A and B are shown apart, each in its own frame.
Chain A
């Protein structure tokens, strides 16, 4: 079974530029998550989708970050404009069912973003 796929693996941009990350979850998984992991910290949930609806985006900085999962499968996370403090690893995860049940989340390899 293929795992969670993410691209690109690395991205370097200058501040005020825009950037987009792509994620394809495990086939059949209803719920998709985007996390931000700053160096030396644990991952922080940015947004949770169940199918193509948003379950939780309370920690997403909506003035610059946006995310979509239009067909309930793959997803994109965008930052526009980027700031220096957005330098981090952006992790995508998926789980079979999602909201309402305790279950394992499976993570992709992440996209490492450096903002100069």
Chain B
């Protein structure tokens, strides 16, 4: 039972354009969501997070949107840069003592072309 799904295995974007990565979840108990970026042979690096009390969070070029009714979140990268090429994972956790138990999606490979 995959509770967090990233349905697009890959995404290709031109430099300077917007990248939109999507993530769906099924567990209504999830209330904290994170995006991580992973380069080959490295561990995941934290990008941005959002709590279920918000529907948007921005940090520089990165914005995460949360639609609780649709159980959907998305990561927008504007403008995209070649250095953004990596695997992007969304992750979710439920509240209380379960905050540490992250459930990850399977990842989306983003390629930004110069």
Same complex origin of A and B: yes
Give the interface of A toward B (CB within 8 A).
4, 31, 33, 40-45, 48, 50, 55-56, 91, 93, 95, 98-110
Number of chain B residues whose Cβ lies closer than 8 Å to a Cβ of chain A:
29
Measured CB to CB, the residues of B under 8 A from A are 4, 31-32, 34, 36, 41-46, 49, 51, 89, 91, 93, 95-107
Q: For residue B107, which residues in chain A have a CB less than 8 angstroms away from its CB?
A: 40-42
Determine the chain B residues whose CB is within 8 A of the CB of A41 once the complex forms: 106-107
- Whether the pair B97, A100 counts as a contact (CB closer than 8 A) is yes
Bound CA–CA A102/B100 (angstroms): 7
The distance in angstroms between the C-alpha atoms of A91 and B49, with both chains bound, is 20
In addition to A55-B100, A109-B43, 15 A-B residue pairs with Cβ atoms within 8 Å of each other are: A42-B107, A45-B101, A45-B102, A55-B97, A56-B101, A93-B43, A95-B100, A98-B100, A99-B97, A101-B99, A102-B49, A102-B99, A104-B46, A107-B36, A107-B45
